[in-house]
Amino acid sequence: MLPALREKFGNPSSLHWAGQEARGSLEVARQHVANALGARPEEVYFTSGATEADNLALCGVMRRCPPERSHLVTSAVEHHAILHTARALQDEGYAVSYVPVDGKGRVDPDDVRRAIRAETGLISIMLVNNEVGTIEPVREIGMAARERGVLMHTDAVQGLSYVDTDVGDLCVDMLSLSGHKMYAPKGIGALYVRQGVILSPTLHGGPQERGLRAGTENVPGIVGLGVAVELAVRRRAEERDRLRRLRQALVDGLMELNLDVIVNGDPVHCVAHVVSMSFRGAEAEAVLFRLHNRGFAVSMGSACTAQSIEPSHVLAAMGLPSEYLRGTIRVSMGVPTTEEEVMAFLEALPEAVRAARGI
């Protein structure tokens, strides 16, 4: 990224050598993203992040669909980038069905099958839930969509570093990515769109990204995304195994502490890097604050809802008992996380929870 930030200022749309140099680095990054998805480079569109990619996928398809295809199916546990876009589409007159999840946060593909109507134009179900780490049965849902001639999108933001993201295997027509979940800069992302799927643009302007996403490209961000995706895929298997061991140590240690806690999500169909835990009768904010004072950076629910006092829509949809809802913290692990840190966290936790319960 540094050459693009320091000295290579060409605009990829310029025909001169400096522009072509920038265009070249953009296309290298596009190839990296395409490789990670088993896609063609011309099926990858760079965006400002997953929020924009999700908006483009949902609005781009629905606004292009004829009136007899004005129904969207999604789930109750999607990120707000999907849920709030779906709500905006409802305000425009589109119909939306929100399929429920079970107590582990999993969508039942049969519920999706039942929700599909003759007017359904698009299904959007996330690959991995960002709050509880549950892996959704995207392939099965994608196959059901294909059988019924409906387009399928997945928000794969939390998945790329840890689960297979081959679009053919997943059976999806569109897939959203975000850079900052794999150590690329914030404010960069991509949308995969299968060749032949036509979307309406959400931003109007220049002809960049083959007319689908107007605006001069964020060259340093795109270069960073390309390298980050390439690295994430290369170390995927090794990191997944290492984090699984850390997750096991964390969950086993947590159970031994007898803190009256529920570990949320699906113990089988889950990623290792997200561990959501709910302490009965504790205020998550107080637990978080005490852990913060001991040097730990943990979250409440999702970062995007941290400012709101509403309990998480994901945990509510999973039916988490109310006395646990407000005591939920989310621990995220990644490349820098060590076993020593997990052990130190387990040591700091009882005091933080007790203090948050006012004991």
Ligand X SMILES: Cc1ncc(COP(=O)(O)O)c(C=O)c1O
Interface with ligand X (CB under 6 A) = 49-51, 79, 81, 126, 130, 155, 157-158, 178, 189
Nearest to ligand X of 249, 304 (CB atom):
304
| Backbone conformation region of residue 171, classed left if phi is above 0, alpha if psi is from -120 to 50, else beta | left
Backbone angles phi, psi at 15, to 5 degrees: -85, -20
C-alpha distances out from residue 81 to 55, 92, 178, Å? 7, 17, 12
DSSP 8-state symbol, 127? S
| Backbone conformation region of residue 357, classed left if phi is above 0, alpha if psi is from -120 to 50, else beta | alpha
Q: How far is the CB of 340 from ligand X (least distance, A)?
A: 27
Q: Which H or E run contains 47? A: strand 44-47
Nearest to ligand X of 53, 349 (CB atom):
53
Please tell me the distance from the alpha carbon of residue 195 to that of residue 145, in angstroms, as a whole number: 17
Nearest to ligand X of 155, 230 (CB atom):
155
- Counting Cβ atoms within 10 Å, is residue 200 exposed (0-12), middle (13-18) or buried (19+)? middle
Who contacts 280 (Cβ-Cβ below 8 Å, separation ≥6)? 260, 261, 262, 323, 324, 327
Please tell me the distance from the alpha carbon of residue 198 to that of residue 217, in angstroms, as a whole number: 21
Please tell me the distance from the alpha carbon of residue 27 to that of residue 48, in angstroms, as a whole number: 17
- Counting Cβ atoms within 10 Å, is residue 158 exposed (0-12), middle (13-18) or buried (19+)? buried
Q: Tell me, what amino acid is at 297?
A: A
Q: How far is the CB of 50 from ligand X (least distance, A)?
A: 3
Nearest one of 174, 171, 210 to 190, comparing CA atoms: 174
Q: How many Cα atoms are found within 13 Å in the side-chain-facing hemisphere of 244?
A: 13
Catalytic residue list: 304
DSSP 8-state symbol, 348? H
Q: Assign 336 to helix, strand or coil.
A: coil
Nearest to ligand X of 162, 279 (CB atom):
162
Task: Give residue number: closest CB to ligand X.
Answer: 49
Taking the CA atoms of 278, 282, 283 and 284 in sequence, report the sign of the dihedral they define: negative
Buried-exposed string 99-122: b where 16+ CB fall within 10 A, e elsewhere: bebeebbbbebebbbebbeebbbb
Nearest to ligand X of 158, 218 (CB atom):
158
**Tokens representing residue 24 in the block:** 């070249």
